[in-house]
Amino acid sequence: MQRRDFLRLSVGTAAAAAVASRVRAQGAVKEIRIGYQKNGVLVITRQQAALEKHFTPQGIEVKWVEFSSGPPMMEAMNVGSVDYGAVGDSPPVFAQAAGAAIVYAAGQPITNGQGILVPKDSPIRSIAELKGKRVGFTKGSSAHNIVVQTLEKAGLTYADITPVYLTPPDAGPAFANGSIEAWAIWDPYFAIGETRQNGRILINAREVTKTNSFYIANRDFAKNHGAILQQIVDVTTATAKWAEQHRDEVAKSLAAVTGIPLEIQTIAANRSAFVVGPVTDDIVATQQGVADRFHKLGLIPKPIVIRDIVWRNPAA
């Protein structure tokens, strides 16, 4: 992903966002903007109004902004339109390489709930048989990383497949109608592909590599409002602890917020890991491996150092 592709918002929009960010830096926070997708802890946090309950007494409003995947959320966060959000491992790598104003605020190991699907009647039975096939995934997403590492596991290269860059809402129909022969994706779309779109799991991500998801913050927000950011992380962490012990209720929460059927969200909830914690040295090392691999393949234009943008609360 090139810098010009990543920062495609108009000059006027970017300038307005920059002005808004400076205004927020100069005074008290009156609103926090949370980016979320159709899965994970932030969906539960929204459904429970946990952040609202915490911040309303402080006179701070919470605004929720939904994204179909991580890359557009990183674009919005870069220009200051979103303060905090949850993404997989690849979007912040592409964003950092493009010079985006982001920091890693917290981490979450992923133990299940993503991988590569093929149609149930597909002759593809091994990773090696992906050679020459059309594989759909969102460019710059965690699925992108899974594809790259899965190919390496089988001794294949990125050039051995035909990548088809699709957002999850577009990839589902393409998979169902045979326009792509494999689909790399995460829950709840992973579960939808299995149960509603005649999919078969070719490989689970956990069989290939360790993966993490992240809670990312706008760099200026983290610098100027570290105490507020720490409170957001604390509420997220508390919600995650609750979710680990209440998976049936998590599924209901996810279904209520996203509109995705309960049976789908039940599958996703039962195989998810919800624990949120600091960005540890181990997580940094794993994420650095992702970045180094993407640079070697020419997917990002320059090497980056993950640790450079890991946020540490100076008050901690």
Distance between CA atoms of 40 and 45, rounded to whole angstroms? 9
User: Hey, what domains does the chain have and what are their CATH numbers?
Assistant: 31-110+211-309 (3.40.190.10), 114-207 (3.40.190.10)
Over residues 53-88, the pLDDT tens digits come to 999 999 999 999 999 889 999 999 999 999 999 999
**What is the residue-wise DSSP string for 25-72?**
HHS---EEEEEE-SSSHHHHHHHTTHHHHHHGGGT-EEEEEE-SSHHH
How large is the average pLDDT for residues 126-133?
96
How far from 178 is each of 77, 118, 183, 184, 197, CA to CA, in Å?
35, 10, 10, 14, 10
Query: pLDDT at residue 19 above 70?
Result: no
Looking at residue 174, its pLDDT comes to 96
- Residue 27 has what pLDDT? 59
Q: How much is the pLDDT for 99?
A: 97
What average pLDDT does range 201-211 have in this prediction? 89
- Percent of the chain past pLDDT 90, that is, above it, reads 74
Chain centre to alpha carbon of residue 274 = 14
Omega within 30 of 0 (cis) for the link into 92: no
Across the range 247-267, mean pLDDT stands at 90
The whole-number average pLDDT for the span 147-158 is: 92
| 192 and 264 Cβ atoms separated by less than 8 Å | yes
230-256 pLDDT, tens digit per residue, is 999 999 999 999 999 999 999 998 888
Average the pLDDT over 295-306 and give the result: 94
As beta bridge partners, residue 185 has 115
pLDDT at 2 over 70: no
State residue 259's pLDDT score: 87
Mean pLDDT of 178-202: 94
Distance in angstroms (rounded) separating the CA atoms of residues 24 and 219: 13
Q: Which of the four pLDDT bands, split at 50, 70 and 90, describes residue 316?
A: low
Pair of tokens at residue 207: 């069989």
Residue 226: is its pLDDT beyond 70? yes
- Categorize the per-residue pLDDT at 291 as very low, low, confident or very high, splitting at 50, 70 and 90: very high
Mean pLDDT of 199-208: 92
Q: Return the sign of the alpha-carbon dihedral for residues 302, 305, 309, 314.
A: negative
In sequence order, what E strands does the chain have?
A: 31-36, 61-66, 84-87, 102-110, 114-119, 134-137, 162-165, 182-186, 199-204, 211-218
pLDDT-based confidence at residue 11 (cuts at 50, 70, 90): very low
> Rounded to two decimals, what is the model's pTM?
0.81
Percent of the chain residues past pLDDT 70, beyond the cut? 91
pLDDT at residue 1 is higher than 80 = no
H helical segments located in 154-225: 168-176, 189-196, 219-224
Q: How far is 216 from 83, CA to CA, in rounded Å? A: 8
Report CA-CA distances (Å) from 25 to 29, 96, 232.
8, 22, 17
Please give the mean pLDDT across all residues of the chain: 89
